[in-house]
């Protein structure tokens, strides 16, 4: 089977690795990604939303199945472009991906279909509406409605320190987008649940915990995600009922979308928080998480190409994972997230990575004349698995020392002190 993967980054590098095991991989990307290119039969470098170029190349190559990965390209309707040329896809249409690119749509859909787990929210169009919401809720979170690469959310008490700060940020967003989303601030522990869906059925992957804050101990601005870990079926701070609650919210969402004539086919990602009042939904993504994709794909036992084929056919097959623990850490350029230093040379000592017992995935880097350079975004992910979380973390940390360049990472991700902090936080909340 010939599968085309659209998009490039560490998440797509992990997807490409899996697809290349069981199908002939073709890929479309904007700039040459060294990792994906080396796994592909052929690569098309172009603007992936350029309909004519993409369609004629896919037809010429005889592509059987497509997977469009990144949020930006799903919003641009690249799945629809391929579908219009008769190429089956295992990723959502532009309309289905709206669950991610329009936070207002996601919340209204769940509200209308009485899906539980939504925090109190209001889409505001002026400062008075924002003040009224602030009067009802002591602490709030402010979000842009559209895609921001994970960087637009500001939380009271962390990034916003007064009502004035909130109103200033709301007014900044109103100037740009005319609308902003205000949400009650929740307290709890977060986890990501990714699931394959054929539009009707849902098959969940192991839950993962990402680390969105830039710096050690969860300080600093939100990022695309600095690293993540998973521990098989449940995370250390999680109970079975939390997982079941999240699964049920996602299943009901799939049902609501189907009922509205907007079926979701692809990977649905729920960002959840376990609070003292149960599981709450913070966001939906219409794709694999990045870095979370690497955690789950490392332990995937079913062939990914078979799963994607079954999604495209509307008859999802059973999916299995090994119960190992996984740790992923991102090495990011100096100045990330505000001002990541571009065009700096990066190199990887592959032998040292192998000796550490882990692996690396290239993120937002590009290759020129055989050398690898940074962009302003997350550069290289290191990943490892083991039966013990401590050992998986040790392997991943070892791999960070095999990646050379002006990069930094969060050494605390997946370590016992940070895990204890999380379980203790949960215990305190549930008391």
> What residues make contact with ligand GLY under the rule CB under 6 A?
150, 210, 225, 285, 289-290, 292
Q: With left for phi above 0 and alpha for psi between -120 and 50, is residue 408 left, alpha or beta?
A: beta
Q: Is 249 in the site for ligand AMP (CB under 6 A)?
A: no
- Toward ligand AMP, which CB reaches closer, 338 or 368? 338
What's the chain's length in residues?
431
- Toward ligand AMP, which CB reaches closer, 17 or 210? 210
C-alpha distances (whole Å) from 122 to each of 108, 142, 144, 200, 290 are: 10, 10, 12, 29, 28
Q: How far is the CB of 226 from ligand AMP (least distance, A)?
A: 11
In the 3-class helix/strand/coil scheme, how is 239-284 assigned residue by residue? CHHHHHHHHHHHHHHHHHHHHCCCCCEEEEEEEEEEECCEEEEEEE
Q: Is 141 in the site for ligand AMP (CB under 6 A)?
A: yes
* Residue 340 CA to its chain's centroid (Å): 20
The sign of the CA dihedral 261, 303, 204, 211 is negative
- Toward ligand AMP, which CB reaches closer, 33 or 103? 103
- Toward ligand AMP, which CB reaches closer, 141 or 243? 141
The sign of the CA dihedral 365, 369, 371, 376 is negative
Answer with the entry of ligand GLY, ligand AMP, none that 141 interacts with (C-beta below 5 to 8 A by kind).
ligand AMP
Q: How far is the CB of 200 from ligand AMP (least distance, A)?
A: 26
| Closest residue to ligand GLY, based on beta-carbon distance | 225
Answer with the entry of ligand AMP, ligand GLY, none that 155 interacts with (C-beta below 5 to 8 A by kind).
ligand AMP
Answer with the entry of ligand AMP, ligand GLY, none that 393 interacts with (C-beta below 5 to 8 A by kind).
none
Q: What residues contact residue 38 under an 8 Å CB cut-off, 6+ apart? A: none
Q: How far is the CB of 138 from ligand AMP (least distance, A)?
A: 12
Q: How far is the CB of 187 from ligand AMP (least distance, A)?
A: 7
- Toward ligand GLY, which CB reaches closer, 381 or 402? 381
Closest CA to 284 of 110, 72, 67: 110
For 126-139, b where at least 16 C-beta lie within 10 A, e where not — what string? eeebbeebbeebee
Q: How far is the C-alpha of 431 from the C-alpha of 420, rounded, in Å?
A: 16
Helix 163-177 with 127-136: angle, nearest 10 deg: 140
Q: How far is the CB of 397 from ligand GLY (least distance, A)?
A: 20
Q: Is 222 in the site for ligand AMP (CB under 6 A)?
A: yes
Contact residue for ligand AMP among 186, 195, 297, 426 (CB under 6 A): 186
- Toward ligand GLY, which CB reaches closer, 117 or 289? 289
- Span 152-181, contacts to ligand AMP by CB under 6 A: 153, 155
Tokens of 179: 């609308």
Answer with the entry of ligand AMP, ligand GLY, none that 119 interacts with (C-beta below 5 to 8 A by kind).
ligand AMP
* Interface region with ligand AMP, contact rule CB under 6 A, candidates 24-32, 68-76, 183-191, 387-395: 183-191
DSSP string, 364-407: SEEEETTEEEE-SS--EEEEEEESSHHHHHHHHHHHHTTEESSE
- Span 101-130, contacts to ligand AMP by CB under 6 A: 119
Cis ω for the linkage preceding 337 (within 30 of 0): yes
> Where along the sequence are the contacts to ligand AMP (CB under 6 A)?
119, 141, 143, 150, 153, 155, 183, 185-186, 190, 212, 222, 271, 282-283
């Amino acid at each position: 089977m010939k599968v085309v993967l659209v998009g490039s980054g560490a998440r797509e590098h992990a997807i490409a690795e899996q697809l290349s095991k069981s199908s002939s991989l073709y890929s479309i990307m904007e700039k040459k990604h060294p990792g994906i290119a080396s796994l592909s039969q052929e690569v098309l470098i172009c603007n992936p939303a350029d309909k004519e170029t993409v369609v004629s190349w896919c037809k010429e190559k005889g592509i059987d199945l497509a997977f469009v990965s990144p949020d930006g390209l799903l919003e641009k309707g690249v799945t629809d472009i391929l579908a219009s040329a008769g190429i089956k896809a295992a990723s959502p249409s532009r309309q289905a991906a709206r669950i991610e690119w329009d936070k207002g749509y996601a919340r209204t859909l769940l509200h209308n279909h009485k899906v539980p787990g939504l925090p109190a929210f209001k889409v505001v169009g002026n400062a008075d509406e924002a003040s009224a919401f602030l009067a009802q809720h002591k602490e709030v979170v402010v979000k842009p409605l559209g895609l921001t690469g994970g960087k637009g959310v500001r939380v009271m008490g962390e990034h916003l320190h007064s009502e004035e700060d909130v109103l200033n940020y709301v007014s900044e967003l109103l100037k740009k987008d005319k609308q902003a989303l205000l949400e009650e601030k929740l307290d709890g522990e977060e986890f990501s649940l990714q699931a394959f869906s054929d539009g009707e059925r849902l098959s969940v992957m192991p839950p993962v915990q990402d680390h969105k804050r830039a710096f050690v101990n969860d300080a600093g601005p939100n990022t695309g995600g600095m690293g993540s870990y998973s521990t098989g079926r449940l995370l250390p701070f999680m109970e079975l009922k939390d997982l079941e609650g999240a699964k049920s919210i996602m299943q009901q969402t799939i049902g609501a979308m189907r009922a509205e004539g907007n079926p979701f086919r692809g990977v649905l990602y729920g960002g959840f928080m376990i609070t003292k009042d149960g599981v709450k939904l913070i966001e939906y993504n219409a794709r694999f998480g990045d870095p979370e994709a690497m955690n789950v794909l490392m332990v995937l036992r079913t062939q990914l190409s078979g799963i994607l084929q079954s999604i495209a056919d509307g008859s999802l097959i059973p999916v299995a994972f090994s119960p190992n623990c996984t740790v992923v850490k991102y090495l990011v350029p100096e100045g990330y997230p505000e001002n990541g230093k571009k065009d700096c040379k990066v190199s990887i000592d592959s032998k040292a990575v192998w000796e550490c017992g882990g692996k690396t995935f290239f993120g937002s880097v590009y290759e020129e004349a055989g050398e690898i350079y940074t962009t302003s975004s997350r550069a290289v992910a290191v990943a490892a698995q083991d039966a013990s979380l401590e050992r998986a973390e040790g392997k991943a940390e070892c791999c960070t020392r095999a990646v050379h360049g002006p990069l930094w990472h969060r050494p605390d991700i997946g370590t016992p002190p940070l895990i204890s902090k999380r379980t203790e936080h949960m215990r305190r909340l549930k008391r």
